[in-house]
Structure 1
């Protein structure tokens, strides 16, 4: 039998393995930082793992991701966290989050700005659900955790028609949080200004101001150089 040359099928195997490894490393590097903030992986019996399995999603490190890499579940339990950290907003698309067994601060309301999809939040037993009972359908206390389930839309339950200005509308902004959005064609304070916000005018003013300051600084430095 003739020996296989360097371009034979056998020599392609290491190349293919190297390519797959490179792709795997690239995918691992692309994982959101919040998913690897805490070492280890999600426990098989955790609520996030069960949600991920039931929904036929994929577990990577501490996250449950869909095919597009969107975070739908986050498990940071037992990570010695005093607060979720600056990268926490990467998980604003999550449906379920587990933060139990952490020495968290009790006030987490502002932590969940933009977490409008969140339906299940598991916290340490001594930490209150953000927004309180008015923000959730059910709050259940256990011996080792507190579970907040079914985020409510406060825009539907506030009952205050004057909460947003005449040309604005209410929109949820996370547990116990809401915001007023201006209608199309309105902007500014209390949505009282009509018409589109002019980016040309804005950047024109910004550019002219920057140019004037630059010329002033250049002239000042030039005079100092002459004086010396």
Structure 2
């Protein structure tokens, strides 16, 4: 009796098995909405509001309190957020809107806002706050700060790395400074450098580092799957 021709290729079998495990885990994991911030309070973005006008000019789509725009990959992201008149008393986590260009937090009794509330909001160019609040990062982090109709307007976020006297000195020699929200910066390795403090020259050894990690993850997933099957059969 011949063997080999009618048997499933071991590599193909492993790939199919891994795919089944991956899809099973995806189906079992709870699906969390990536835009919960859009439903933080009732209502929707109004056409005549600052965010509404911005959304119309950029051909965005209104979803609750958000204006959504398409990325080059085809996925939607939040480009505008209107949380005005939402009875907010504090602001601490708006990270779902970190790609927004405009955010309106006016007409709220906010008395506490985290210093890191807008960390990572490097694209934010127009922020509307209650009059009693200061612009994050201080006035020097914005091109223009003004009070108008009981609101504080913070316009044109400045690049922290390029502000006179505020150029971060914590980035090592082979790292470059990049804006990371009003008053914040981040250091990233320059081209052809990686590792601790960007001191290692050459390409990052992706295969050597991620290869064993991927293999370990696969083995653990396989063992978990086999354990679950044994438990199911036992029942």
Q: TM-score, normalised by structure 2?
A: 0.66
Task: Name which one, 1 or 2, has greater alpha-carbon Rg.
Answer: 1
Q: Residue 71 of structure 1: SS of its match in structure 2?
A: strand
1:82 aligns with 2:85: no
1:170 to 160, 165, 177: 177
CA deviation map 1:77-111 (0-9, x unaligned): 1212233354x111111110001122324544311
Change (3 A) 1:129 1:77: same
- Aligned runs of 1:1-228 on 2, under 5 Å? 32-67=35-70, 68=74, 69-86=76-93, 88-158=94-164, 160=167, 162-195=169-202, 200=208
CA deviation map 1:1-49 (0-9, x unaligned): xxxxxxxxxxxxxxxxxxxxxxxxxxxx967111112111123321101
Contact 2:105 2:128 in 1 (8 A): yes
Change (3 A) 1:201 1:161: closer
Change (3 A) 1:31 1:198: closer
CA deviation map 1:143-202 (0-9, x unaligned): 521110001112222454855221011100001111111123433443223455556468
Between the aligned partners of 1:161 and 1:177, the Cα distance in structure 2 is 10
**Structure 1: unaligned runs, 5 residues or longer:** 1-28, 212-228
Between the aligned partners of 1:93 and 1:112, the Cα distance in structure 2 is 10
Between the aligned partners of 2:92 and 2:211, the Cα distance in structure 1 is 34
Contact 1:40 1:61 in 2 (8 A): yes
Q: Residue 179 of structure 1: SS of its match in structure 2?
A: strand
**C-alpha RMSD of matched pairs (Å):** 3.1
Between the aligned partners of 2:168 and 2:34, the Cα distance in structure 1 is 43
Contact 1:109 1:176 in 2 (8 A): no
Residues 171-180 or 186-195, more deviating:
186-195
Between the aligned partners of 2:198 and 2:111, the Cα distance in structure 1 is 36
Between the aligned partners of 2:180 and 2:34, the Cα distance in structure 1 is 25
How many aligned positions are there? 182
Change (3 A) 1:125 1:180: same
Q: Residue 51 of structure 1: SS of its match in structure 2?
A: helix
Contact 1:108 1:130 in 2 (8 A): no
Bigger helix fraction: 1
